[in-house]
Amino acid sequence: MTALLNVTKLSASYGDFRVLHGIDLTVERGGVTALLGANGAGKTTTLRALCGMIKHSGDVVFDGVDIARCATEDIARLGIAHVPEGRGTFIALTVEENLRCGAMTRKGRASIDDDIERAYHWFPRLKERCGQQAGTLSGGEQQMLAVARALMLRPKLMLLDEPSFGLAPIIVSELFSILRKVNEQEGVGMLIVEQNAALALELARQAFLIETGRILISGSVTEIRDNESIRAAYLGY
Amino acid sequence: MELLIQQLVSGVATGGIYACMALSIVMIYQAIHHLNFAQGEMAMFSTFIAWQLLQWGLPYWIVIPLTVAISFSGGIAIERIVIGPLGEAAVLSHAVVFIGLYAVINSLASFIWDFTTRPFPSPFGAGSQFGNLISNQQIGMIAVTLLVLALLYAFFRYTRVGLAMRAAAENPTSARLAGIRVGLMAALGWGMAAAVGSIAGVLIAPIVFLEPNMMLSILLYGFAGAVLGGLSNPAGAVAGGFAVGVIENLAGTYVPVIGSELKLPIALLLIVIVLVFRPTGLFGRTIVQRV
């Protein structure tokens, strides 16, 4: 059985400035892949390129479909939900309207309403604030809203860009335990970008280490964890 | 006292014109987050189309839906051909294109229909109510404006497409990631703004008469109303439009220096005062963002 996401020789640039130099990576069906690396290594750029948000070349095959030349909205429609850097909240809309925006590609009001309840079940705090303007939420709540909105798409694959960024440790562990449940119970594949390597490696089964736009090392999480020199040099723990 | 009531009523009646215009301005602002200077000219052009159709002998009840449909398609065409390719260009680029559109549409109308001032028949008949205090036309105009407002409110608040349009206007990047077709939503917004504008034009034309420059001052008053009420709030913009009409009328009557010649600067003064002291307008929502 082929992988859920298969990326080969992905290159991307901002204007003339090349950021990615032909990277290969995979996400297994129902698997979690961590993409690790320092600031400026090209992690966010990789996610943006996968979603067609920036100019890129190379092959991207998702669920047997070549999406390398698809528009961002069509990629979302195929079942890839991107939780972007900065959370991408619709700040003027209410919390519930934000969730409904996440389900915009789907049909059937009843199943969408069910999924809103499901989102509130995962994130009870959002239920308390369902009618509130989303811009008034705290950073942690907005991150939860971003994840909940992505789940509304009923995705096959989630791209998570630094979900722990700027959050208090207790919120981070809450969020990651929910992500783990979503992955285990609903089989949603995940590609997770994190600077907090320890955290990401707890969730992931496969990891890719990226440095200045190139994949340096890849392998199963156990291999990467057990390699003392990698840990010391790149993961910093 | 009688004079005051008369001035108030006639202020509300004129305010109805501004409210119409303000509504179509806010409508497009909601869809694209830009102020479209050509909005008035688009409405004027639509009104000429309606007039032409009437001249060809079509009845009113066919002319109105046909004009709205033509304007809707025209709005979409403008977005697809002119605005869409601009993409996320700077605000000033948009402003320049809007001014260009203004000039093109104005000249096109003058070229086709020349500058003769023409009467435009009222869809509501010629009579008046309450002892000549307010004409049927004015009552009809106010009623239709409120109806359009209610329909727009329901559309944006309760329909999926309405929500998608708001999301696409507020955060195009996030909207795309949610699978919303942002370009399509913008085109739809232009189409709807043009359609609302065409209704405003047909309502206004019986009062101000039809000619290519008919919307010039009305657009200014409409902007004043929209800014006063709040660009983020269609209902506020309508209320603002009425308020501008009343303020203008009362000031013209009771402040001797102003008279009818200095009415227009009042609109401009209002814009300045509101922008300085309450930039979101009287009824506008302040969009809060925590970081």
Residues of chain B in contact with residue A105, where contact means CB-CB under 8 angstroms, are: 178-179
> Do B186 and B31 touch, CB atoms closer than 8 A?
yes
The sign of the torsion formed by the CA atoms of B53, B58, B59, B61 equals: negative
Could you give the CA distance from residue A95 to residue A91 in angstroms, rounded to a whole number? 9
Q: What is the CATH number of domain A1-79+155-237?
A: 3.40.50.300
**Residue of B123 and B222 predicted with greater confidence:** B222
Confidence of residue A41 (pLDDT cuts 50, 70, 90): confident
- Residue B114 pLDDT exceeds 90: no
pLDDT tens per residue across span A152-162? 999 999 999 99
Nearest-neighbour CA in chain B from A67: distance (Å): 14
Choose among A93, A105, A142: nearest Cβ to B166: A93
* Average pLDDT of chain B, as a whole number: 86
* Residue A114 confidence (pLDDT): 93
pLDDT tens per residue across span B20-67? 888 888 877 877 777 888 889 999 999 999 999 999 988 988 999 999
Q: How far is CA B47 from CA B53, B112, B122, in A?
A: 10, 13, 12
The residue extents of the domains of chain A are: 1-79+155-237, 88-154
- Angle at B171 (CA atoms; ends A164, B84), nearest 5 degrees: 140
**Torsions phi, psi for A157 (to 5 deg):** -140, 135
The residue extents of the domains of chain B are: 15-215
Q: Which residues contact A57 (CB under 8 A, 6 or more apart)?
A: A9, A10, A11, A12, A68
Residues of chain A in contact with residue B182, where contact means CB-CB under 8 angstroms, are: 73
Of B161, B88, B165, B176, the residue nearest A74 (C-alpha): B176
pLDDT tens per residue across span B251-268? 887 877 766 677 778 888
Contact B170 A92 (CB under 8 A): yes
Could you give the CA distance from residue B114 to residue B103 in angstroms, rounded to a whole number? 15
* Residue B159 confidence (pLDDT): 92
> Do A209 and A203 touch, CB atoms closer than 8 A?
no
- Residue B119 pLDDT exceeds 90: no
Contact A104 B289 (CB under 8 A): no
- Residue B286 pLDDT exceeds 70: no
DSSP letter (8 states) at residue A162? -
Nearest-neighbour CA in chain B from A77: distance (Å): 5
